[in-house]
Amino acid sequence: MRLPIIKLLTEFIEEKDSDFVLETIETLEALTELPSLKDEELDVIGELISNMYGAIEVANSIEQGTPKKDAMNQFMQRVLGSIDK
């Protein structure tokens, strides 16, 4: 996951709507079913999907009243914590 991408997508969600990102995730998930995709291409799509889900989580946290910086930091701490386990 890349924090700058999640930050940008979170701002996009704030300006527009999370539905745009959710529809993009559905489209990317459908693309992963294509048998001719190479492993590197699947990795890139997977990274994009995970960043988008991360941005949605951060945006939801912000909507619930968490300050933006705190929401980003809490999300990244959860991600890093899950990697350490």
What letter does residue 85 receive in the DSSP assignment?
A: -
* DSSP-assigned letters across all residues of 2-60: -HHHHHHHHHHHHHS-HHHHHHHHHHHHHHTT-TT--HHHHHHHHHHHHHHHHHHHHHH
Supply the range of the domain harboring residue 73: 1-80
Does 85 fall in a domain? no
The answer, as to whether pTM is greater than 0.85, is: yes
Interatomic CA distance for residues 64 and 49, integer angstroms: 23
Does 65 fall in a domain? yes
Domain count across the chain: 1
pLDDT one digit per residue (tens) for the chain, 85 residues: 888 999 999 999 999 999 999 999 999 999 999 999 999 999 999 999 999 999 999 999 999 999 999 999 999 888 887 665 5
